[in-house]
Amino acid sequence: MAIDADTLQKLHSEAEVPELDLSWLNLGEESHWGIRAKPGKRGLTLDEIEIGPYGEVPEHTDNRSLKPRGAFARPDAPRLPATYTNSADTYSANTRLLYEEGVQRQWSSATDIPWESIEPLPDDMERAMCQLCTFLTEVEFIAGDTPAQWLPKINSEHHEVKLFLLSQIMDEARHLDVFRKRALANGGGLLSSLPQDGLRVIIEAKDFTEMSAIMHVAAEGFVQSLFRMGEYIGQNEAEKRIFRLCGQDESRHLGFGVMHLKHVIDTEPWRREEIHHYLDKVELTLAPDPTDDAGSFVLFEALAILMGGGVNNFDKGIQMSLAVQRKRVNEYMHRLTVVGLGDRRDRMYPMLRQYLDPPKN
């Protein structure tokens, strides 16, 4: 198609040079020029760059744009809707450390797991492991999808939270990947999908603190206990390493949630009942009644087979599984005590409270 004469004339003309505005070169005394970040023993981490005004995390901010903390505002910057403005809404004091650890401790499910150590297992043990891996694959879908929903709502002044959640999403993608691989690596495959109601409670949270209390502190706390148990139920070095590495990742997610809730309780104590309400919702899903929800009992049966060493030792496996459940519930109560919610002991869902040890004097 031919170019018209006017367009051709413009192409041959000298381009108009816009008038330059170099005012950004002369910010003057209000600028932070001269503040130099220096690498520490672990390199140039977030702790090393959060200095001077760059490290001052505001309890409240009027910044509703994408302006990074420490940068100068533009009066014509577009406003982002539904962005949290208080640190208590999303912040946790350990996010810098957790992010740096998450970046430095990445691992590959393809090359860091000794898949060659997997040998044929008795059918009942292989089916039980595959059922557990099917459940964990479902769990990791939600654990990765959920943080992603909240990224646009976290204020740019609290960018450490964004960075941590991005590292968590990568962790969960790797977990989803590795458990699916284990299910397929020994001739078993994926088995029964379990009821989804417990997972929907996580992704349907309407507030960041609600999400973090339900997912990080309660649900991932229980999964972390399961990963620790994986060292025992692993039948080969591949399985043991999978659970070990996933547990290492899960500790960061759990650590964020505990410190976020503690920050909320310390700075906005009037939200106690709100948080108790969130815990009420999630506890119903952490200890379902098998007479009402037989599908959820499938996981308990699979764990009993793995812990007992086969169907023939099912009774022994059940007793061991109950001991693990007791440990999970007491660890959950300990985390809530650290947060400042020690009164949860008397309000816990009865199906969980029955596993609590007596309080220490």
| pLDDT in 10s for each residue of the chain, 361 residues | 566 777 666 666 666 667 777 777 776 666 677 788 898 888 998 889 888 888 888 899 888 888 888 888 888 888 887 689 999 999 999 999 999 999 999 999 999 999 999 999 999 999 999 999 999 999 999 999 999 999 999 999 999 999 999 999 999 999 999 999 999 999 999 998 887 777 889 999 999 999 999 999 999 999 998 898 887 899 999 999 999 999 999 999 999 999 999 999 999 999 999 999 999 999 988 876 655 555 568 888 999 999 999 999 999 999 998 988 899 999 999 999 999 999 999 999 999 999 999 887 6
Contact 180, 138 (CB under 8 A): no
Task: Name, in order, each residue with C-beta under 8 angstroms of 45's C-beta and a sequence gap of 6 or more.
Answer: 96, 100
**For the chain, what's the residue count?**
361
- The pTM for the full model equals 0.89
Contact 253, 171 (CB under 8 A): yes
Rounded to whole angstroms, the Cα distance separating 137 from 140 reads 5
Task: Name, in order, each residue with C-beta under 8 angstroms of 128's C-beta and a sequence gap of 6 or more.
Answer: 301, 302, 303, 305, 306
Cβ neighbour number for residue 355 with a 10 Å cutoff: 19
Whose structure tokens read 């139920």?
A: 233
CB hemisphere CA count around 153 (13 angstroms): 15
CB burial of residue 161 (10 Å; 0-12, 13-18, 19+):
buried
CATH for the stretch 120-353: 1.10.620.20
